[in-house]
Amino acid sequence: MEVEIRQAVDKTLAQTDADQWVARIDQDPAAIGEHVLQHLDASVRSTLEKSTRGQLTNGLLHLKGVFDAATGLPDSPKGFAPLPICLPVNAARLTVLAVNQLLGHAPVSYGSENDGHLFVNLVAMPGQGRSAEKSTKGMRGHTDAVSFPFPGQQDSRHPRIAPSPDAVCLAALRNPDDIATMVIPLRQILSRLDEADIEQLKKDQFLITCQGTFKDGTIAVLGDAHQVEDVSVLLSRGVNDFWVRFSHSNVAPSYTAPEATEQALVKVAQACEEVAHPIVLGAGDIVILDNRTMLHGRSEVGKEVGGNARWLLRSYGLASDNIPKTAFHEGSSFKLWP
Ligand SMILES: [Fe+2]
């Protein structure tokens, strides 16, 4: 699978008009993913669609050595943006866009996080501020954009708010110390809970505040840092089939919730620690995580900034069917509201 995707990306980058395609990433990213896939035979493409989708059903798709992260890689950047322009960053972005296209996911960002950049650097940042501190610490299990609705649901106060992403896409440019990304399958969390805990988590009795990266952006668009009251942590999808939204620091019982609610959250947090397992992204790897059934976190990153420090790119995917047309910022084909 990796070989075919890598060849398609390499062919795209070897075209004489490659620069123009790369420049279009920030205008019409879905079209670029499709352009890369045009380099595959129809039968190869359909096999890749089946296998990528099949693997993501289990929560996680890990493609190893799927792009060239070595040729001409500059020092690691020191902030979410900008992306240093170089061959490995272009290869990483094209690969993520191609894989999104295979999965039927639209590449998306949120205008209220990191200025709506489609791809951001995940790196250790210098300085004393909150995001600098957070950038080097370990991170406990969570889903991304935790306060935004599940697809098919609406935010009660701001109905235009787009759903949280279906998938979190990570591409590793550098990871010299093999810092682990921690993954926590919802299935394994639930197996450690009682029926009564699960019942509590299904009820609309939680208060969820947005994560730090969304704070300033949602204040700018909505007037306040986004939060929702009286929503559930689990959404039932069928027999023993759930979606989850969770973060240790952003999910709490509503003011009126019974005590059992708090206990259920404590058990989820405990289960997260027990079942978290590490995956290591090597340079040139891509991981797509199902943001509804697989929580993620990471080990401590270490203090090195710039130079040879760990450097991932992150982007999001959302099933095209899950995106209401009004969810995009005006004039953008990928930036979701708020
Ligand atoms: Fe995250």
Q: What is the pLDDT of residue 84?
A: 96
Task: Give the pLDDT means over successive 10-residue stretches in the chain (338 positions).
Answer: 98 94 94 98 98 97 98 97 96 98 98 98 91 88 98 96 98 96 98 98 98 97 98 96 97 95 97 96 98 94 92 97 91 97
- Name 109's bridge partners: 335
- Expressed in angstroms and rounded, the spacing between residue 17 Cα and the centre of ligand 1 is 35
- Helices 2-14 and 29-37 cross at an angle (nearest 10°) of 110
Contacts for 242 with CB less than 8 Å, ≥ 6 apart: 186, 190, 234, 235, 236, 293
Distance between Cα 48 and ligand 1 center (Å): 26
Say what the pLDDT of residue 300 is.
87
Å from CA of 126 to ligand 1 middle: 20
Distance 138 CA to ligand 1 centre (A): 11
In the chain, count of helices (H) and strands (E)?
A: 10, 16
Phi, then psi, of 159 in degrees rounded to 5: -60, -15
CA of 252 relative to ligand 1 center, distance in Å: 18
Distance 272 CA to ligand 1 centre (A): 15
CA dihedral of residues 305, 307, 308, 312 (deg, nearest 10): 60
C-alpha of residue 20 to centroid of ligand 1, in Å? 31
The CA 113 to ligand 1 mean position distance, Å, reads 12
18 alpha carbon to ligand 1 midpoint, in Å? 31
Q: Are 116 and 329 in contact (CB under 8 A)?
A: yes
334 DSSP 8-state letter: S
For residue 289, count CB atoms less than 10 angstroms from its CB and return exposed for 0-12, middle for 13-18, buried for 19 or more.
buried
* C-alpha 11 to ligand 1 mean position (Å): 32
- Residue-level pLDDT at 115: 97
- Determine if the pTM surpasses 0.85: yes
Task: Name all contacts of 85-88 with Cβ < 8 Å and 24+ positions apart.
Answer: 87/13, 88/173
- Distance (angstroms) between ligand 1 centre and the Cα of 71 equals 28
CA dihedral 140, 142, 144, 150 (to 10 degrees): -170
Identify any residues that bridge with 185 across adjacent strands, giving them in sequence order. Answer: 294
| Phi, psi for residue 138 in degrees, rounded to 5 | -70, 160
Check if the beta carbon of residue 140 is closer than 8 Å to that of residue 264: no
State which fold the 2-186+274-336 domain adopts.
Answer: Double-stranded beta-helix (3.60.130)
Residue 142 is predicted with a pLDDT of 97
